Amino acid sequence: MSTTTEQAAAAAPPQEIPKVAELGTTSAPLKSAAFFIGAYCKEYNEDFMLCKAESREPGHCLKEGRRVTRCATDLITKMRENCLAQFEAHWGCLEQNNQQYYRCRTEERPLNACMFEKLGLTKVIPGTPEGRKQIHEIENPTLKRQQK
Amino acid sequence: MFAYLSNGNARRDLPPAGGFETVKYKRNLPPARARRPSHPRRRHGPVRVWLLAPWTGQYREKVRCAPRHCALSCQCLELKRENTWARIHLVPLLLAEGDRALYADAQHAHAVEAEIMKDVKGWVVSNPYTSMVATS
């Protein structure tokens, strides 16, 4: 399920806290969208994590947390509006392949292309050694879905 | 006092004739032989384990992703890095959602606690030693 749905919390949140619709996506769509979330919501994510570094109490970073969730919901909505077919294909493949990226490169490439074309987001893996292609861009990787 | 001891009719608790029989207070089994693997395992075990190491669970990832294999392809490590960064990008999102749920639960629990303990003098609601939510 890559649609965003509101989840019911165990205890209703207090009235004075603004409500935010929880991101209802399951793990495979989240993994498929992870790098785009990282690129699209970088500011909010970093702000939230810096806030958490100040204090780990659950109530300390509620405002920043709501921003993070709204941003992610926004991105998933945009992905579904612009690249629905590629997105569905990719996370469906992840679901069928133990959520391993390397088994779903054929589905991943159209998604990355579409996301760059429509939303201007690229998948960048930090820490890739200098002068090497990133692992998802290698044309003929060693590890594939089917080993020969 | 103690007149009954000196009147000759006293029955004293004395050991029976010939003494008590010995009490068995210590186990007297022969010492257990140290367990050891069966003969074929002793004979072939180490060699077989050593041969199978690259395919067994504990060492599989280490062997396949060892840096010395990176001379041919560094792709195992890169795949790991990709997975790790995917998770790192998702952490704020998941943490925020969890925090909201935890906060709502704590508030609810405190309200219930305050209602139950309202008659107890000096009771502190959400005392960290009685609270169910850990506050670091």
Here the ipTM equals 0.89
Give the residue with greater pLDDT, A28 vs B2.
Answer: A28
Is residue B64 within 8 angstroms of chain A, CB to CB?
no
pLDDT, position B109: 85
Counted domains in chain A: 1
pLDDT (average), residues A61-86: 96
Amino acid letter at A30? L
Residue with token string 């305050």: B114
Give the residue with greater pLDDT, B125 vs A75.
Answer: A75
Mean pLDDT of chain B: 77
Residue B80 has pLDDT above 90, yes or no: no
Instruction: Report how far residue A29's alpha carbon sits from residue A27's, in angstroms, rounded to the nearest whole number.
Output: 6
Residue A11, in any domain of the structure: no
Q: Is the overall model pTM greater than 0.80, yes or no?
A: no
Mutation target to probe the B interface, by most B beta carbons within 10 A, among A37, A46, A57 is A57
The parent domain of residue A67 ranges over: 27-123+133-137
Residue A33, in any domain of the structure: yes
Residues A85-130 have pLDDT tens digits of: 999 999 999 999 999 999 999 999 999 999 999 999 999 999 888 8
Is residue B71 within 8 angstroms of chain A, CB to CB?
no
- Residues of chain B with C-beta less than 8 angstroms from the C-beta of A45: 89, 92-93
Chain B closest-CA separation from residue A120 CA (Å): 18
- A135, B135: Cβ pair inside 8 Å? no
Residue A146, in any domain of the structure: no
Chain A closest-CA separation from residue B40 CA (Å): 35
SS3 percent helix, strand, coil of chain A, rounded to 5, is 55, 0, 45
* Range scoring the smallest mean pLDDT among A6-10, B14-18, B30-34, B37-41: A6-10
